[in-house]
Chain A
Amino acid sequence: MAEDLIRMEKINKFYGRIHALRDVNLTVRTHEVVGLLGDNGAGKSTLIKVLSGAVPLTSGNILIKGRKVELKSTADAIANGIETIFQDSALVPQLSIARNLFLGREPIKGGSFLNRLDQDAMNASARELLKRVGITKDIPPETPIAALSGGERQAVAIARAMQFDSELIILDEPTNNLGVAETQGVLRFVREARDTGHSCIFIAHNIHHVFQVVDRIIVMRGGRVVADDIDPKHTTIEQVERIITGEELLHAITA
């Protein structure tokens, strides 16, 4: 079995008095795509926000390749090889596609004193990346994000996660608002990411999308993980739906 990339142990998270995560354990192995399912408010976004440094945890441990880490900010998480595409995608509307793709990691030319952006290099890789996420329409990389459709924005956010060699890529409902071609682009990206040695956590309400790409399914309900080893090859979508709603006892399947 592949080695553990991420281990989250006994994670608890309180928002004031709301207990959003209750003793959650979660493991992601290398080269593995994990689907994270659960109804609205189950705690999925909270869990991955903890893992991506966006919100602090109340108690618990996070280990990356067996080493304990503290993720105090998203920058910390990025530095530890964890890239996240948030549900409310985090782009700067006034900046161009290319500049959003490289925000925080801009390529520089002409020495650090001049601090000059290598705009040509940014534009060239931006064109390349947009093609890979299935934007076949010819959108110039200088276009500001504000001029894009919701789906195109999502695609840009995904393209951004692709370009840096992160070991774990987290996608929180990346197929929301997407058209057919763009959804296929996202799913293709997830497969490609695994084939090139990355791990993914994939959150979506559309179970069909999840079934198409994941190796393993984890289900959350009421802040707890209620099933964490569902094999999509040996389970039906209906069974998973019943676990999500709590109608089916999990041991029947996970056994």
Chain B
Amino acid sequence: MQQRTFLQSFVSKPEFGPLVLLVLELMVFWSFNSDFLSLPNISNTLSFTVELGLIALAMTLLMTAGEFDLSVGSVFGFSAVLMWTLFNSEMMPLGVAFLVAIAASLLIGFVNGWFVTKLNIPSFLVTLGMLLVVRGTALYVTDGFPQRTWNAEGNLFANVLAGSYFIGSFRMYMSVIWFALAAVAAHYVLTKTKAGNWIQASGGNPNAARARGVNVSRTKICLFMASSAMASLAGIISSIRTSAANPNSGTGYELEVIAMVVIGGTVLTGGRGTIIGTVLGIFILRVMRNGIVMIGVPGLAYNIFIGAIILGMMALHSWLERRHNSGV
């Protein structure tokens, strides 16, 4: 084991496959269309990227602890609707409405976590139920109609959260900075802290962790709350950027987010997760979405590519695992 070369240990890292795939993807799209790596296109891709990316970061931690959350897409839609409904009815200023929406999402996450840890119901069922409840609520209170959003231009709060400014000709979105900070924080928590150790132990062997005094339930509940809060934040940022709060928005995001996480090398069964891998996974999917449109493949074919990438990456991870176990 000690004699392995640097290259060998790099290849055996879970982040290696996704990194190669991302580089390949960029090269292929760029060779088809040189506009692909133009500044406006990069900026545009980045702004979309981070909204799902924020959720994927929290989902990585949750999946490392052995659970996942299918309700994030519905919370994404619901939070923006809630915030704008409260604001439009002139009940409160936007900042307060924002806090109410975040608090509501924390409550949703808490309920998810409570059902999973205290009632021992699999997270698949709990969060599927929550998905329907939250999406149903968003549709019911709005009668299915999008909420009026006021023009966010010039509002300090909206600018800090989701504004953009130019560096030269490059349009930089604030949300990209929030995403970068969140990614660094999540990586730090997972790899360097006591909390990260507890997260990995809770997913790897919950009974062993409990036997050592690790509070597995509290760890998981906190992660469910984090995942919900991130979904809420992402939904609100998206509604400000697009000036639209649609009760249906975020439909299907949960699966795309989980795809980003597993493509990056985090295992669905828990115990092992990587934020670096997730960041690569996020870019792999967003670059794919953006790239196939730019080279003229119909956008409707997108899912074919995503599905193929997931299957391919899973095969690669399993092959590396077997190779590792046989000592090559």
Contacts and interface: CB of A to CB of B under 8 A. Distances in A.
Interface of A: 54, 73-75, 78-79, 84, 86, 90-95, 99, 103-106, 108, 114-117, 119, 138, 140, 143, 147
Contacts of A79: 213
A99 B207 CA distance: 16
A78 B211 CA distance: 9
Contact of B208 (A75, A91, A140): A91
Given A103-B197, A117-B194, A92 B208 contact: yes
B1 A103 contact: no
B233 interface: no
A94 B65 CA distance: 12
A104 B212 contact: yes
Interface stretch (B49-57, B95-103, B198-206, B300-308): B198-206
Interface of B: 1-2, 189, 192-197, 200-201, 203-205, 207-214, 271-272
A94 B210 contact: no
B210 A103 contact: no
**Which 4 pairs of residues, A with B, have the shortest CB-CB distance?**
A104-B212, A75-B213, A90-B208, A94-B271
A94 B272 contact: yes
Contacts of A86: 211
Given A90-B205, A94-B204, A106 B210 contact: no
B277 to A, nearest CB: 15
Contacts of A94: 200, 203-204, 271-272
22 contacts: A54-B211, A73-B213, A74-B210, A74-B211, A74-B212, A90-B207, A92-B209, A94-B272, A95-B200, A99-B197, A99-B201, A103-B212, A104-B214, A105-B212, A105-B213, A106-B194, A115-B189, A115-B193, A117-B194, A140-B1, A140-B2, A143-B1
Contact of B214 (A54, A103, A115, A140): A103
A59 to B, nearest CB: 24
A106 B208 CA distance: 15
Contact of A93 (B195, B204, B210): B204
A95 B194 contact: no
B195 A115 contact: yes
Contacts of B208: 90-92, 103
Nearest to B271: A94
A117 B192 contact: yes
A119 B192 CA distance: 8
A90 B216 CA distance: 15
Given A54-B211, A103-B197, A147-B1, A95 B204 contact: yes
- The dominant DSSP class at the A interface is loop
- Give the interface centre of B195, B201, B203 by most chain A CB atoms within 10 Å: B201
A90 B204 contact: no
Contacts of B197: 95, 99, 103, 106, 117
Given A90-B208, A95-B201, A116 B193 contact: yes
B194 A92 contact: no
A104 B197 CA distance: 9
Given A74-B212, A103-B197, A92 B205 contact: yes
A11 to B, nearest CB: 21
A94 B274 CA distance: 13
Nearest to A102: B197
A92 B210 CA distance: 11
A203 to B, nearest CB: 17
A91 B201 CA distance: 9
Contacts of A92: 200-201, 204-205, 208-209, 271
Nearest to A115: B193
Contacts of A147: 1
A253 B195 CA distance: 54
A142 to B, nearest CB: 10
B211 A114 contact: no
B192 A116 contact: yes
A78 B203 CA distance: 22
A138 B195 CA distance: 29
Contacts of B204: 92-95
B217 to A, nearest CB: 12
A86 B1 CA distance: 29
Given A74-B211, A75-B213, A93 B193 contact: no
Contact of A108 (B194, B203, B212, B214): B194
A74 B206 CA distance: 13
A104 B213 contact: yes
A103 B193 contact: no
A73 B193 CA distance: 25
A175 to B, nearest CB: 20
A115 B272 CA distance: 20
Nearest to B207: A90
Contacts of A108: 194
Contact of B194 (A93, A115, A143): A115
